[in-house]
A and B are shown apart, each in its own frame.
Chain A
Amino acid sequence: MPATKTADPQQLRHIAAEIRKSVVTSLAEAGSGHLGGSLGLSDIFTALYFSALSHQPDNPTWPGRDRLILSIGHVAPVLYATLAHAGYFPVEELTTLRKLGSRLQGHPGRDHGLPGIELSAGSLGQGLSVAVGMALAAKLDNKSHRIYTIHGDGELQEGSIWESAMAASHHNLDNLIAIVDRNGVQIDGFTEDVMKLEPLGAKWESFGWRVLHCDGNNMEHLLETLSRASESINKPTVIIAKTVMGKGIRDIEGDYRWHGKVPTKEQVPGFLEQIDSGQ
């Protein structure tokens, strides 16, 4: 059965808020993990799984599905929350995050059998290469599904990203859409202080990619950009999505110290309230 989808931004914002709340509660329960990036990506994941992607939650390995490769495994909480709300597994299971025996590993692990996980990943810089392999396979087999990837901006400092960027354009992989979470921060601070990435769009362009920019926390803008990305021009596409780390919770928005931090159980009610009131 196809996924429940909508093109209504207001409805999608409501779903994104529910996903954010699940991210907060599951991380507080886990006691460790990455809150900031997971919240910043919640709108993107919502736009993908509730609008752009062709997929079937009750048939996760449906051959015709669009594939989503999460290259930055540390934001697994937003992937898990999205998959649960989309119907891949019960939302209650989110509270098992990072616990012994859980299908919700700290970084996604296919070996634990969680439906909807395309790749076990967590070592940065590898997801785009795998996506190139999947996109090549689709071309060889004349299949029309797309491969989407999610990257951090700090992750782009890995050299292997640029090896795969080169390969994707060399092989004209117009079925590949990479999304960069451009929140401008990484563990040690601002990306431009740690290791400069700008001019980032020009870098991708010079590697032979179509570059689209968007506000990754604006639902209308996201839907429009994802729709433009799916118009083929014989090139791979990268969407540089500007996001705010910690988006949705005023107290932590933009604070890079929340990259690898989780809320205490006492903080949870306040955080959930801020998510609700911010919609």
Chain B
Amino acid sequence: MQQLSDYRNRGSKPTKTGFGEGLLEAGTRDHRVICLGADITTSVGCNFFAEAFPKRFISLGIAEQNCIGVAAGLALEGKIPVFSTYGVFAALRAADQIRVSVCYNDLHVVIGGAHAGVSVGPDGATHQALEDIAMMRVLPGMTVLSPCDATQAKLATVAAIEQCRGPVYIRFGREAMPDFTTTEMGVEPGKSQLLLAGKDLTIIATGHLVWEALEAAKILEQEGIGARVINMHTIKPVDADAIILAAKETGYIITAEEHQVTGGLGSAVAEVVVQNFPVPMKMIGMPDHFGESGEPRQLMKKYGLTAECIAEAGRRKK
């Protein structure tokens, strides 16, 4: 089992870049992969693909609802469409198109949701995706991926395109964040990763907050509390076995996500816990509030999304 000291930041990188690299890799292997553009190609990581395969990059302008419908049409004809835009516009503006044209038709369409969380920073509330997981995970048949760093984002994107079937939503952020996982760790959609094997409590985190969870475990370790850390890179289907085991073996679960505290990872974990092995939980996320402008770090601190906040929740066990 890995030790805390095994996880170190090999250099900060945006998860958006990992998505772009994964798209390029899958697109190189499979000519059925088509990328749709809604004007913000570079800022959502699609520029690598667009430059390498201009014929398979289709510009559709600032029209997200149409983009989703076009993706459905391409998928019906056997293509593998990938449409990436800011998570707020993908998951909310085009929600009905995703529900009917994509999910009800059970089509393999990969939807990238960029600018996840308050860590987008200065752009402020309109562009910070904080409700996308909730919106996407209630849709029948939808897979929801939320990789924790750039290395994992690349692997998860390849898996979304090549391994998953049906609709997939994959969220990622804009800011350079610690890149600490390895390609060897792999990503199996639906199977969480046990990063630390503590016995006193469990921190289940997703996206950028997985690194914060490891930092929190470091703080708690110094105080004699052994935290188990689980990277829940797939929010749907959620890894129920790992959650139930954590509830049984550690008796207390903290969830941490850059998303509204309702409807996201915390809710997904709670749904498993209450129906199988009820234990106390603490959910860390955006407290039913919109974001605002500020530096990413300042915002994460203001809204309680840091290692210190997770550690504080851990101390409450005693």
Measured CA separation A194–B153 after assembly (Å): 48
Q: When the two chains form their complex, are residues A126 and B97 in contact, meaning their CB atoms are under 8 A apart?
A: yes
Q: When the two chains form their complex, are residues A129 and B69 in contact, meaning their CB atoms are under 8 A apart?
A: yes
Q: How far is the CB of A35 from chain B (nearest CB, A)?
A: 24
Q: When the two chains form their complex, are residues B74 and A133 in contact, meaning their CB atoms are under 8 A apart?
A: yes
Q: When the two chains form their complex, are residues B65 and A111 in contact, meaning their CB atoms are under 8 A apart?
A: no
Whether, in the assembled complex, B105 has its beta carbon less than 8 Å from a beta carbon of chain A, the answer is yes
Of B76-84, B111-119, B131-139, the one with at least 4 CB within 8 A of chain A: B76-84
Q: When the two chains form their complex, are residues B70 and A130 in contact, meaning their CB atoms are under 8 A apart?
A: yes
Q: When the two chains form their complex, are residues B101 and A164 in contact, meaning their CB atoms are under 8 A apart?
A: no
Set A109, A127, A137, A164: member contacting B104, Cβ < 8 A: A109
Whether, in the assembled complex, B54 has its beta carbon less than 8 Å from a beta carbon of chain A, the answer is no
Q: When the two chains form their complex, are residues B73 and A132 in contact, meaning their CB atoms are under 8 A apart?
A: yes
Q: When the two chains form their complex, are residues A167 and B73 in contact, meaning their CB atoms are under 8 A apart?
A: no
B224-258 interface mask toward A, CB cutoff 8 Å, 1 = contact, 0 = none? 00000000000000000000000000000000000
B55-67 interface mask toward A, CB cutoff 8 Å, 1 = contact, 0 = none? 1101011010111
Measured CA separation A159–B34 after assembly (Å): 25
List A contacts of B120 (CB < 8 A): none
Measured CA separation A163–B94 after assembly (Å): 12
Nearest B residue (CB) for A109? B104
B203-229 interface mask toward A, CB cutoff 8 Å, 1 = contact, 0 = none? 000000000000000000000000000
List A contacts of B4 (CB < 8 A): none
Q: When the two chains form their complex, are residues B101 and A134 in contact, meaning their CB atoms are under 8 A apart?
A: no
Whether, in the assembled complex, B200 has its beta carbon less than 8 Å from a beta carbon of chain A, the answer is no
- Most-contacted residue by chain A among B61, B71, B77, B96 (CB, 10 A): B77
Q: How far is the CB of B58 from chain A (nearest CB, A)?
A: 6
Q: When the two chains form their complex, are residues A133 and B73 in contact, meaning their CB atoms are under 8 A apart?
A: yes
Q: When the two chains form their complex, are residues A160 and B73 in contact, meaning their CB atoms are under 8 A apart?
A: no
Q: How far is the CB of B14 from chain A (nearest CB, A)?
A: 29
Whether, in the assembled complex, B68 has its beta carbon less than 8 Å from a beta carbon of chain A, the answer is yes
Measured CA separation A137–B105 after assembly (Å): 17
Q: How far is the CB of B22 from chain A (nearest CB, A)?
A: 22
Q: When the two chains form their complex, are residues B79 and A126 in contact, meaning their CB atoms are under 8 A apart?
A: no
Provided the pairs A111-B104, A129-B70, A133-B69 are in contact, do residues A166 and B96 lie with their beta carbons within 8 angstroms? no
In the complex, 14 of the A-B residue pairs with CB atoms within 8 angstroms, ordered by the A residue number, are A118-B76, A122-B100, A126-B97, A127-B69, A129-B65, A133-B71, A133-B74, A137-B77, A163-B63, A163-B66, A166-B61, A167-B60, A167-B66, A167-B70
Partner-A contacts on B (CB < 8 A):
34, 55-56, 58, 60-61, 63, 65-79, 81, 96-97, 99-101, 104-106
Partner-B contacts on A (CB < 8 A):
109-111, 118-123, 125-138, 140-141, 159-160, 163-164, 166-167, 170-171
